[in-house]
Chains A and B, each alone.
Chain A
Amino acid sequence: MPSFPFQEDHDMIREAVKGWLSDWEDGGKTLHRVAKEGQGFDRTAWEGFARDQGMAGISIAEQYGGAGMGLLGRTVIMEETGYTLFSAPFFSTCVLGADMIEAFASEDDKADLLSKIASGDIIISVLDGRNQLTLKNGALSGVVSPATDAAHADLILVAAYDEDNNVALTGYSPNTAGLSVTPFASIDPTRSQAKVFFENVALSDGQAIGKTDNTAFSQILQIAHGALAAECVGGGQRCLDMTLDYANQRVQFGRQIGSFQSVKHKCADMFIALESARSASYFAASPDLDDDPVAKFEASLIAKNYAAEAYFKIAGDAIQMHGGIGFTWEYPLHYFFKRARGNRALFTSSEDGFQMLADQIGLAQNTTDISGE
């Protein structure tokens, strides 16, 4: 029987992906290599995963060459890439990029770009420049930072306000005049970060993907961000697994430390946080919400923020339960802790997220505007 709310084909994909990613990660060795190389990106692995394994198209519609496995499909992938900190732009390209194109692009652009995503032939970085870029005489200026996966993107998809205060979505080649991408080291060395500088970059020099009002843009963006909840669940599961392994083998005072109640209760709390985050993540991906964009928006908001908070707590507790070894670079736990911290702040902070949720459930407006509207 498949594990609710997944179907059998999801479970099969999970098995396949899990094995592949576990080989890639190699018990943390690969994470050390990626960190040493300093790009937060393993191109060879990405090409193997996206093209050969066909995972880039998991949630792209079948008409564009994808597997059409919907939000639950990418939930599986994000969970497993989170478990291994797979250093590749699945989220940027196949979730954020694909969702933006799916929602706002013309049929021709969809046919072109979505099939490129599905076949693993394009890397996309999505920049929300609404608050960081200004439009003057038809050209964008400003800096977008941090810009996840921009350093190796083939297409930089920028959202910025146009003259009518709508959101214009424009696709740029990284070679566009006035646009420069500068890679930066990230505190989370398994994720690629950069700053993207715009100096009078003409809208007309890019590919006009689509235009929408701010609310619709925020909704689609948030639903895409919801997929990060699954990454948090995967990472949280890994932290808990590592902690249980350690607690069951480490002996102090003549006993496994996992037999001490203070350690057991901490692990129980980690499990409670993890399984709750898992529920939030699966709920946001549930097909029951497909016909109700507002409910889906809210569920995604809950999932991302709830799971990001849970992941950070779990990862912090995991370091504490490991004692000194958890503080070393050698032991790979810190990479997860750093990813957890990043997920709390990137793509809307938890604080803003809960304030947006407060709006959503009908609490009278706060005086400070946090939604970017």
Chain B
Amino acid sequence: MSIREELNQWMLENLTGEFEQIRWRGGPGDEDSSPELRRAWEQKFGEAGWIGLQWPKEYGGRDLSLMDFVEFNEEYARHGGPGRAGHIGETLMAPTILAYGSEAQKERFLPGIKNGTELWCQGYSEPNAGSDLSNIKTKARLDGDSWVINGQKIWTSLAHESDWIFVIARAEEGSKGRDGLVFLLVELDQPGIEIRPIHQISGTAEFNEVYFTEAKTDATNMIGDVGEGWKIAMALLGFERGASTLGQQMMFQNELNLIIKTANENGRAKDPTLRRRIAEAHAGLKVMRFNALRMLNGTQDGSTSKEGYISKIFWATWHRDLGELAMDVIGADAEIIEDELSPLQKLFLFSRADTIYAGTNQIQRNIISERALGMPKEPRGSANG
């Protein structure tokens, strides 16, 4: 049986009962919906052996090929599988631990991800380290057998639902930029950590501020060495691009279908301008799919192919445009909130974040022009202290 058929069978049998209500829920912009149920779903998913399929067999994975993993993600999305509470752990933390962690760290952390029992969040951005990510101010000092952490992280998705956070912090006093950083794994449930939700443009709150005041983690919970934090942090971001993009596109297709249905029902499908915009959105989604296939087929070694650099800005811009299109298709009634924000209203508001997080469109253009096109580097300011 192919992985697609295997998962299809399981989803038909298990995305039922109480889990019906989280079908198609919990994606970006909706990540604060039904947290308890989605945590339960993550554990059920883990118990069934669906987490860590790409990992080596010795760590409980199945060594699944990239293209099979793509199929798996597409099938999951086709069923409207709930946004995965454990996705940061599985897609970012685990590959990083597998690549850079010690044996002891693999034994300690991989099972919790695999079973869906330990959820992770990402502690990168700070109030003064957004696009200029290396301008990290959060400090870590080694005190006996523990790292002691002070500072603030921001835009931490799902911190309030997570058990652990991975943090880049400055370990060498007086170091600047990419030097002197450490990559630490920190348990969230401790007196030195305070989590404050950020209320967003959409009225929901899946992002947080995380304050560290003499927070502690065991000295063994460092990945790599002192001074290697930047290298590991960037390697982790490299894992972000990949197979999950095709699953994401199934969610997009679902949103586009809803827009087409709305246009046909309210008659705006006959408006030539809207027809063209919807047709262009459809074309864009097909292009996105083939962009992803080219990217996935272009690099078996995990490095970024030239065309791979357009992935983020392309989907983010497409999705933000889709949000605007959705509202225009609904028409004046798009202003009315019945009961709660409708999926298309949420799409419109939350998609403003798409072109900002994980590298703004402006940063993406810098990256494309410098790395894909080899243009001269942006002169950098020196007052980076």
Q: Mark B293-316, 1 if CB is under 8 A from A, else 0.
A: 110011000000011001001100
The answer for the CA separation of A278 and B293 in the assembled complex, in Å, is: 12
Pairwise interchain contact B310-A271, C-beta atoms closer than 8 A: yes
Pairwise interchain contact B366-A261, C-beta atoms closer than 8 A: yes
The answer for the CA separation of A258 and B366 in the assembled complex, in Å, is: 12
The answer for the CA separation of A280 and B263 in the assembled complex, in Å, is: 25
The answer for the CA separation of A351 and B277 in the assembled complex, in Å, is: 11
CB proximity to A under 8 Å, residues B221-266: 260, 263-264
Pairwise interchain contact A268-B264, C-beta atoms closer than 8 A: no
Q: Does A197 belong to the interface (CB within 8 Å)? A: no
Pairwise interchain contact A354-B270, C-beta atoms closer than 8 A: no
Pairwise interchain contact B275-A355, C-beta atoms closer than 8 A: yes
Pairwise interchain contact B278-A358, C-beta atoms closer than 8 A: yes
Write the chain A residue with the least CB distance to B256: A361
Write the chain A residue with the least CB distance to B280: A354
Pairwise interchain contact A264-B375, C-beta atoms closer than 8 A: yes
Q: Does B44 belong to the interface (CB within 8 Å)? A: no
In the assembled complex, how far is the CB of residue A294 from the closest CB belonging to chain B, in whole angstroms? 14
Pairwise interchain contact A247-B310, C-beta atoms closer than 8 A: no
A363 partner residues in chain B, CB cutoff 8 A: 260, 263-264, 269, 275, 278-279
Among A279, A282, A361, the residue within 8 A (CB) of B260 is: A361
Write the chain B residue with the least CB distance to A307: B287
Write the chain B residue with the least CB distance to A367: B270
Q: Mark A253-266, 1 if CB is under 8 A from B, else 0.
A: 00110110101110
Q: Does A275 belong to the interface (CB within 8 Å)? A: yes
A256 partner residues in chain B, CB cutoff 8 A: 376
Pairwise interchain contact B376-A358, C-beta atoms closer than 8 A: no
The answer for the CA separation of A368 and B272 in the assembled complex, in Å, is: 9
In the assembled complex, how far is the CB of residue B297 from the closest CB belonging to chain A, in whole angstroms? 4
Q: Does A77 belong to the interface (CB within 8 Å)? A: no
A268 partner residues in chain B, CB cutoff 8 A: 313, 364-366, 368-369, 372-373
Pairwise interchain contact A276-B291, C-beta atoms closer than 8 A: yes
Tally of B interface residues using CB under 8 Å:
44
A263 partner residues in chain B, CB cutoff 8 A: 375
Write the chain B residue with the least CB distance to A282: B290
Q: Does B78 belong to the interface (CB within 8 Å)? A: no
In the assembled complex, how far is the CB of residue B73 from the closest CB belonging to chain A, in whole angstroms? 19
Pairwise interchain contact A265-B362, C-beta atoms closer than 8 A: yes
The answer for the CA separation of A286 and B306 in the assembled complex, in Å, is: 21
Among A261, A277, A280, A365, the residue within 8 A (CB) of B286 is: A280
Write the chain B residue with the least CB distance to A240: B373
Question: In the complex where A259-B377, A271-B372, A362-B260 touch, is A264 in contact with B269 (Cβ < 8 A)?
Answer: no
Pairwise interchain contact A4-B378, C-beta atoms closer than 8 A: no
Q: Mark A262-303, 1 if CB is under 8 A from B, else 0.
A: 011101110110011111101100100000000000010010
The answer for the CA separation of A264 and B367 in the assembled complex, in Å, is: 10
Write the chain B residue with the least CB distance to A301: B283
CB proximity to B under 8 Å, residues A336-354: 351, 354
The answer for the CA separation of A84 and B297 in the assembled complex, in Å, is: 28
The answer for the CA separation of A306 and B282 in the assembled complex, in Å, is: 11
Question: In the complex where A264-B370, A265-B369, A282-B290 touch, is A259 in contact with B375 (Cβ < 8 A)?
Answer: yes
Pairwise interchain contact A279-B270, C-beta atoms closer than 8 A: no
Q: Does A244 belong to the interface (CB within 8 Å)? A: yes
Q: Chain A: interface secondary structure? A: helix
Q: Does A5 belong to the interface (CB within 8 Å)? A: yes
Pairwise interchain contact B291-A275, C-beta atoms closer than 8 A: yes
Pairwise interchain contact B365-A269, C-beta atoms closer than 8 A: yes
The answer for the CA separation of A305 and B260 in the assembled complex, in Å, is: 20
CB proximity to B under 8 Å, residues A26-73: none
A278 partner residues in chain B, CB cutoff 8 A: 294, 307
The answer for the CA separation of A360 and B364 in the assembled complex, in Å, is: 33
Q: Does A252 belong to the interface (CB within 8 Å)? A: no
Pairwise interchain contact A276-B314, C-beta atoms closer than 8 A: yes
Question: In the complex where A258-B376, A259-B376, A276-B314 touch, is A355 in contact with B370 (Cβ < 8 A)?
Answer: no
Pairwise interchain contact B376-A305, C-beta atoms closer than 8 A: no
Question: In the complex where A272-B368, A357-B283 touch, is A4 in contact with B376 (Cβ < 8 A)?
Answer: no
Q: Does B174 belong to the interface (CB within 8 Å)? A: no
In the assembled complex, how far is the CB of residue B107 from the closest CB belonging to chain A, in whole angstroms? 36
Pairwise interchain contact A267-B369, C-beta atoms closer than 8 A: yes
A269 partner residues in chain B, CB cutoff 8 A: 365
Pairwise interchain contact A272-B314, C-beta atoms closer than 8 A: yes
A367 partner residues in chain B, CB cutoff 8 A: 270
Write the chain B residue with the least CB distance to A298: B286
Among B278, B293, B364, B370, the residue within 8 A (CB) of A361 is: B278
In the assembled complex, how far is the CB of residue A200 from the closest CB belonging to chain B, in whole angstroms? 38
In the assembled complex, how far is the CB of residue A235 from the closest CB belonging to chain B, in whole angstroms? 18
B291 partner residues in chain A, CB cutoff 8 A: 275-276, 279
Write the chain A residue with the least CB distance to B364: A268
Q: Does B17 belong to the interface (CB within 8 Å)? A: no
Q: Does A175 belong to the interface (CB within 8 Å)? A: no
Question: In the complex where A276-B291, A361-B260, A362-B260 touch, is A354 in contact with B275 (Cβ < 8 A)?
Answer: yes
Pairwise interchain contact B376-A276, C-beta atoms closer than 8 A: no
The answer for the CA separation of A358 and B375 in the assembled complex, in Å, is: 39
Pairwise interchain contact A279-B294, C-beta atoms closer than 8 A: yes
Q: Does A248 belong to the interface (CB within 8 Å)? A: yes
Q: Mark B134-175, 1 if CB is under 8 A from A, else 0.
A: 000000000000000000000000000000000000000000
B57 partner residues in chain A, CB cutoff 8 A: none
The answer for the CA separation of A244 and B297 in the assembled complex, in Å, is: 27
Pairwise interchain contact A357-B373, C-beta atoms closer than 8 A: no
B364 partner residues in chain A, CB cutoff 8 A: 268
Given A259-B375, A261-B378; 16 other pairs, CB 8 A cutoff: A4-B293, A4-B297, A5-B297, A244-B375, A264-B373, A269-B365, A271-B372, A272-B313, A275-B291, A276-B287, A276-B310, A279-B290, A354-B280, A358-B269, A358-B275, A367-B270
List 21 A-B residue pairs with CB atoms under 8 Å apart, sorted by A's residue number. Answer: A244-B375, A258-B375, A259-B376, A261-B366, A267-B375, A268-B369, A268-B372, A271-B369, A272-B314, A276-B291, A277-B287, A279-B291, A282-B294, A283-B286, A283-B290, A302-B287, A306-B287, A355-B272, A355-B279, A361-B282, A362-B264
Nearest 4 pairs of A and B residues by beta carbon: A264-B369, A4-B297, A259-B376, A268-B365
Residues of A at under 8 Å CB distance from B?
3-5, 244, 247-248, 255-256, 258-259, 261, 263-265, 267-269, 271-272, 275-280, 282-283, 286, 299, 302, 305-306, 351, 354-355, 357-358, 361-368
